Amino acid sequence: MRGPHNIIRLIRTGATLERTGAMNVVLDAFDAGPLLRVTFRTIVWPFQWLGYKGDVTMPPATRALTALGPAYIKFGQVLSTRPDVVGDELAVQLRVLQDKLPPFSMKEAEREVKRELGQSVQELFSSFSEPVAAASLAQVHKAHLVESGDAVAVKILRPGIEKAFRKDIDAFYFAARAIELLSPASRRLRPMDVIEHFEGVVMGELDLRLESSAASEFASNTEKDEGFDVPNVRWHLSGRRVMTLDWAEGIGIGDNDALDAAGHDRRALAARVLQMFLNHALRDGYFHGDMHQGNLKVAQNGDIIAYDFGIMGRIDEYTRRVYAEILFGFIRKDYQRVAEVHFEAGYVPSNQDVDEFARALRAVGEPIFGMDASRISMARLLSYLFEVTERFGMETRTELILLQRTMVVVEGVARSLDPHMNIWQVSRPTVERYITESIGPKALLKDLGKTVMILSRFGPQLPAMAEAALIRANNPPPPPKPQRRKARAAWFALGAVVSAAAVLGIQQLV
């Protein structure tokens, strides 16, 4: 319940933010006004002693969230994908949140396996290791199957995590409502919508059947991609709270010394990481939304292995074409076309000047393209681009937020492997291929074929539909009488008043 009892939980949260020095960071990120700042400080300051101290070696925001526990860590991870809400600086801080939490006991892990799969660990696995990783939602064990001896990774949700998250999410809703009430300026950031988005992400990750499905779809899409691998799901050993995948053996892609010692070509790996991501986003419209170093390994044969599919991104075909044209326009320095694409897609209001927008984009692109290859930054380009589009009245495109964030993360992974990689040269072949296939003559024929196929489904109904349209055209309905319109308006007004009263009554009860 999202009632006043959440105040106690929020006081401890605020005390931890104050004690760790994160309070100012959070209030600045949400553009909190003077009233909200004074209110929070007045409430929280006397209770600082209730706050957790946290790890003093961490930046303030990450220090506070890790001290507060799994729900707050996950919230920070989700906010790291929303630089439009918290700003670029805080988003970068939140990306480095540590997910190495204390594991739960082996006895609890075995109990969860038995409850979910209906058989004991000893019946299913010939070996079952201590946790090899423990995150905010789950932990992972390495095991070997009794039936075949194959090595697998068994992911198990933390016991009681659903109930714990529900309590914290309720407190988050209460806080968001208070922020909107006390700080009108923060409403443009839609705090309630942010919490709703967070709730959707977490609830999805708390059902490992959905992650298993995501892994299976991703593996199917990428099975023909050379040099890229996704572990197979063992469906008969997976359920809502337990997921089993083939074990991915390899070197962490962030361990450059180990990669060099094993003889891997880091320049080739850097190019492949970036090109694979662009392939998945543009070709498939379905991409790994959390491709940081911790979720990528390099196999002995040089293949890149991806795992942890709790956050996946999906973009429709039209958005993919728009995104590809924007990228390709920047690659070719065709700023006029980049501007036109923004207007054609409705990303920038039509009352703005397309030529002025093109000039602004040139001011964004030219300084970056004039830099040494090792200093060209996709993150900087996207940051500048969003500044310009904000100035021209462009609204936040929620479908591009995760894509933008993931591309920045992938760029960071690639540059950690090859600091001098020119991302534009590496990206160009992949983007050009997609442009040719999706926007050229071949794509036009493909689109026409789809249109004909859709129309053919309605073939038997076309005569009746045409007849009905002609009848309606020849016999237009009489316009509604003024009294009828007034009556409808009165009923709508009455309904709105009753609904509002009901909502307020329910809120008072809650």
Identify the DSSP state of 58.
S
For residues 308 and 216, membership in a common domain is answered with no
C-alpha to C-alpha distances, 8 to 12, 50, 65, 168, 218, nearest whole angstrom: 7, 11, 17, 12, 43
What distance in Å separates the CA atoms of residue 371 and residue 61, rounded to the nearest whole number? 33
Say if 507 falls within a structural domain. Answer: no
Task: Give me the catalytic one of 84, 290, 308, 418.
Answer: 290
Q: Which domain holds residue 225?
A: 105-157+207-247
For residues 233 and 255, membership in a common domain is answered with no
Tokens representing 316 are: 């429709």
Say if 492 falls within a structural domain. Answer: no
DSSP characters over 318-349: HHHHHHHHHHHHHHTT-HHHHHHHHHHTTSS-
Residues with Cβ within 8 Å of residue 311, at least 6 apart in sequence: 81, 201, 205, 288, 289, 290, 402
For residues 21 and 86, membership in a common domain is answered with yes
For residues 293 and 338, membership in a common domain is answered with yes
Say if 473 falls within a structural domain. Answer: no
What distance in Å separates the CA atoms of residue 81 and residue 74, rounded to the nearest whole number? 11
Query: Tokens 């799901």 correspond to what residue?
Result: 233
Say if 116 falls within a structural domain. Answer: yes
Picking from 220, 247, 274, the residue at the C-terminal end of a domain is: 247
**pTM of this prediction?**
0.70
For residues 151 and 53, membership in a common domain is answered with no
For residues 310 and 395, membership in a common domain is answered with yes
pLDDT of residue 506: 34
DSSP characters over 163-222: HHHHHHHHHHHHHHHHHHHH-GGGGGG-HHHHHHHHHHHHHHHT-HHHHHHHHHHHHHHH
What distance in Å separates the CA atoms of residue 443 and residue 441, rounded to the nearest whole number? 5
For residues 228 and 182, membership in a common domain is answered with no
Tokens representing 374 are: 């090792």
Q: Decide: helix, strand or coil at residue 493.
A: helix
Residue 260 annotated to the active site:
no
For residues 262 and 393, membership in a common domain is answered with yes
DSSP characters over 396-422: P-HHHHHHHHHHHHHHHHHHHH-TT--
* Residue 62 CB-half CA count within 13 A: 18
For residues 33 and 136, membership in a common domain is answered with no
Q: With contact defined as beta carbons under 8 Å apart, do 329 and 338 qualify?
A: yes
**CATH code, domain with 228:** 3.30.200.20
Tokens representing 395 are: 């609204």
For residues 211 and 292, membership in a common domain is answered with no
pLDDT in tens, the chain (510 residues): 455 566 777 777 878 887 887 777 777 766 666 776 776 667 676 777 677 888 888 888 888 888 887 778 877 776 665 565 566 667 666 766 655 667 899 999 999 999 999 999 999 999 999 999 888 789 999 999 999 999 999 999 999 888 888 878 887 888 787 777 766 656 655 677 777 777 777 777 889 999 999 999 999 999 999 999 999 999 999 999 999 999 999 999 989 999 999 999 999 999 999 999 999 998 999 999 888 888 899 999 999 999 989 888 888 888 888 888 887 888 788 999 988 988 888 878 888 899 998 998 888 777 766 555 556 555 555 556 656 666 777 665 656 667 777 887 788 788 889 988 877 788 888 888 888 777 666 666 766 776 776 666 666 776 777 778 778 777 777 665 554 444 444 433 334 333 333 333 333 333
For residues 322 and 385, membership in a common domain is answered with yes
For residues 59 and 169, membership in a common domain is answered with yes
Number of structural domains found in the chain: 3
Does the CA dihedral 139-140-141-145 come out positive or negative?
A: positive
What distance in Å separates the CA atoms of residue 365 and residue 367, rounded to the nearest whole number? 6
Q: Decide: helix, strand or coil at residue 156.
A: strand
Tokens representing 124 are: 């299913």
